[in-house]
Amino acid sequence: MAECTIQLSIDEFLKSYKTLLCKYNEYLDAEEVSLDDTNKIKDQIRELLEYYKDILVLEAYQDIETLDTLIAGINQKLANGDFVGQDGINGSDGNDGYTPIKGTDYFDGKDGQDGFSKGGFKNYIINGGFDVWKRGTSFSSASNIYTADRWYMANTSIETTATKVDNVNFNSLRLSLNGGTNGYENIRQYVEGDKLAGKTVTISFKIKWHTYNPNSYLYGYSSFGGTSIQTGGIGSGTGEWENISITYTFNSSWAGASYIGIGLIGRGSNITGDFDFEIAQVQLEDGSVATPFEQRPYGLELSLCQRYYQVIDGIYVSGYNNGHHGNCFPLTINEMRVAPTVVDFTYHDQPFTTRQVTTTISFNPYLLHKNSISVRASSSGAGMIMAFIGNVKLDAEI
């Protein structure tokens, strides 16, 4: 009986959520609707998502009475038209509206509770809205680098630029290449594990061409190899935003792969010509129908990104060097895919009385773990060690 009550409540919620999504998309397509009205609907959608995370917590604890009260409040807000200002449960066993429910694995896809088959997270792509840019917002390189969080710019020898673009209703990534006759370039994302092997999926996104390349393509990748999904040009190159939707079945032989992903709008190694385009709202979902782009709260999207890359600030290290080292206590971090590597950091020595001690900072592998890190500092001579370390960049990408 408890499960039935909860399911009915969630069904009612999903109806309200879908209604708002449809209204939001209608507003985006209607020229006469004001930006204020559109943003109001967007805020309502975000607030509904905050409620939904509360619902998942209550479902996990089988708290029927509180859940039914919450659903009743949602319906009343929708009826009154005053759906703004909800905070979320915040603080319930660490579930603060941004952190996945305790005990739920959002990533391995083996137990049906990976955050993409449960909890309404239909989009396998992380940061498909290009909201999280912890490495910076502008890149220029002739080699392989990460740009927006989770988005990898694959490149061989040709200078390519990737930049963040702030549009009125969404962010986008702009990728451009001028010149060159050899080498491939694309922007890609790998989805952890083999959950996509053999699945029929729909890939959808927005694209706006500044310099159209009729030989652009969409490619599928895995740790076992790759294959073309669509060739011969993506979109029509009108110079306006176009909605693209492509249905594809991933190779079932990719079962057991460590990752499966997509490469967007690239240029093959034997293809010439410039290209310059923006992409936005990238979604990869089960089935053969493209549904509206999933709007996840920024905090939730950030926590998903932090499984693969995060930046830590404000680490304080102290100790006395007399044949020993100074250490900081282990710092808890959002759990990462594997024990991370430290790709960069900054530190500043702190004076002790009248003496400044030069320190050497190290992140030895045994001090790095999936959910915690520790820092070791040593000095060139005996004395107090005091240092602040910041901008620690932790990488656990696939």
Q: Does 196 fall in a domain?
A: yes
d(CA 169, CA 158): 32
Residue 136 has pLDDT above 90, yes or no: yes
DSSP-derived letter for residue 328 is: P
Which of 294, 326, 353 is the C-terminal boundary of a domain? 294
Least confident of 126-140, 230-244, 288-302, 374-388: 374-388
The more confidently predicted of residues 1 and 252 is 252
Q: Quick one: 333 and 250 in the same domain?
A: no
- Helix ranges (H only) for 227-383 are 298-305
Q: Does 379 fall in a domain?
A: yes
Q: Quick one: 69 and 11 in the same domain?
A: yes
Residue 128 has pLDDT above 90, yes or no: yes
Output the six-digit token pair for 198: 């053999």
Residue 94 has pLDDT above 60, yes or no: no
Q: Quick one: 148 and 66 in the same domain?
A: no
Q: Quick one: 345 and 318 in the same domain?
A: yes
Residue 85 has pLDDT above 50, yes or no: no
d(CA 232, CA 215): 5
Q: Quick one: 272 and 340 in the same domain?
A: no
Per residue in 159-194, pLDDT tens?
A: 788 999 999 889 999 998 766 655 567 889 999 999
Q: What percent of the chain has pLDDT over 90?
A: 33
Q: Quick one: 349 and 324 in the same domain?
A: yes
- pLDDT averaged over the chain? 74
Domain range enclosing 26: 2-80
Q: Quick one: 152 and 242 in the same domain?
A: yes
Output the six-digit token pair for 171: 């962010």
Q: Does 54 fall in a domain?
A: yes
Residue 378 phi/psi, 5-degree rounding, is: -135, 160
Find the CATH number of the domain harbouring 242. Answer: 2.60.120.260
Residue 28 has pLDDT above 60, yes or no: no
Number of domains in the chain: 3
> Dihedral, CA atoms, 11, 13, 15, 21, nearest 10 degrees?
-140
The more confidently predicted of residues 324 and 369 is 369
Kindly give, in sequence order, each residue whose CB lies less than 8 Å from that of residue 164, ignoring residues fewer than 6 positions away: 130, 133, 137, 138, 148, 171, 172, 173, 174
Q: Quick one: 168 and 224 in the same domain?
A: yes
Q: Quick one: 201 and 259 in the same domain?
A: yes
Q: Does 261 fall in a domain?
A: yes
Cβ atoms of residues 290 and 121 within 8 Å: no
Q: Does 149 fall in a domain?
A: yes
CA dist 336 → 101, 150, 341 (Å) = 16, 13, 11
Residue 2 has pLDDT above 90, yes or no: no
Average confidence (pLDDT) over 116-136: 82
d(CA 109, CA 360): 41
Average confidence (pLDDT) over 150-158: 82
Least confident of 86-90, 349-353, 359-363, 377-381: 86-90
Residue 96: pLDDT band (50, 70, 90) is very low
d(CA 67, CA 58): 6
3-state helix, strand, coil in the chain (%, to 5): 20, 35, 45
Which of 250, 268, 294 is the C-terminal boundary of a domain? 294
Residue 72 phi/psi, 5-degree rounding, is: -60, -40
Q: Does 200 fall in a domain?
A: yes
Output the six-digit token pair for 8: 């009915």
Average confidence (pLDDT) over 269-287: 83
Average confidence (pLDDT) over 324-331: 66
Q: Does 96 fall in a domain?
A: no
Residue 154 has pLDDT above 60, yes or no: yes
CA dist 385 → 162, 326, 331, 364 (Å) = 41, 6, 19, 18
Contacts 24+ apart (CB under 8 A), 351-355: 351/386, 352/383, 352/384, 352/386, 355/383, 355/384
Average confidence (pLDDT) over 210-228: 89
Find the helix or strand (DSSP H, E) in which 80 lies: helix 64-80
Residue 56 has pLDDT above 80, yes or no: no
Predicted local confidence at residue 280, as pLDDT: 97
Could you give the 3-state DSSP secondary structure of residue 139?
A: strand
Residue 239 has pLDDT above 50, yes or no: yes
Q: What percent of the chain has pLDDT over 70?
A: 56
Q: Provide the 10 A C-beta neighbour count for residue 133.
A: 19
Q: Quick one: 20 and 146 in the same domain?
A: no
Ramachandran region of residue 44, left (φ > 0), alpha (ψ -120 to 50) or beta?
alpha
* Residues composing the chain: 398
Predicted local confidence at residue 340, as pLDDT: 94
Residue 216: pLDDT band (50, 70, 90) is confident
Q: Quick one: 148 and 284 in the same domain?
A: yes
Cβ atoms of residues 392 and 313 within 8 Å: yes
Which of 38, 63, 80 is the C-terminal boundary of a domain? 80
Q: Quick one: 206 and 257 in the same domain?
A: yes
174, β-bridge pairs? 163, 278
Q: Does 99 fall in a domain?
A: no
